[in-house]
Amino acid sequence: MDEVRKPIKWMGGSKAVLASFPKAVVQEAGYQLDRVQLGLQPDDFKPMRQLGKGVRGIEEVRVQDADGSGIYRVMYVARFEDVVYVLHCFSKKTQKTTQRDKDITVKRYKSMVEERSQK
């Protein structure tokens, strides 16, 4: 049986941001996204339920730099049959996600919903 891999649709500058991360982080994030594309769960992820009313299905892949110096996140939506949307990629120094990163994620989510409604 052939594996069915959903394509990734990169929203905004998410692909360029991910590419700017340390090489080991890019490789690990890529591996985790590959799992998502195949319909599997990433090794370390969590649903992002605190982003507001009407925003659903967003999850984040969590990747830590090997030396523990950085925490990296990839926000995505994988609930559709045909595609995985990567909404936002960012690094952070604390456990708390900044309001700016939440706002970017929600804005791109709304853009994704608008794009899908025009299909």
Q: Which domains does the chain have, with CATH numbers?
A: 8-117 (3.30.2310.20)
Exposure class string for 80-105: b at 16+ Cβ within 10 A, else e: eeeebbbbbbbbeeeeebeeebbebb
Please state, in angstroms and rounded to a whole number, the distance separating the CA atoms of residues 19 and 10.
12
| Prediction pTM value | 0.90
- Neighbouring C-beta atoms of residue 79, cutoff 10 Å: 11
Predicted local distance difference test score (pLDDT) of residue 111? 94
Predicted confidence at residue 1, as pLDDT, reads 42
Digit-by-digit pLDDT tens for the chain (119 residues) are 457 889 999 999 999 999 999 999 999 999 999 999 999 999 888 888 777 777 788 999 999 887 777 889 999 999 888 999 999 999 988 778 889 999 999 999 999 999 989 87
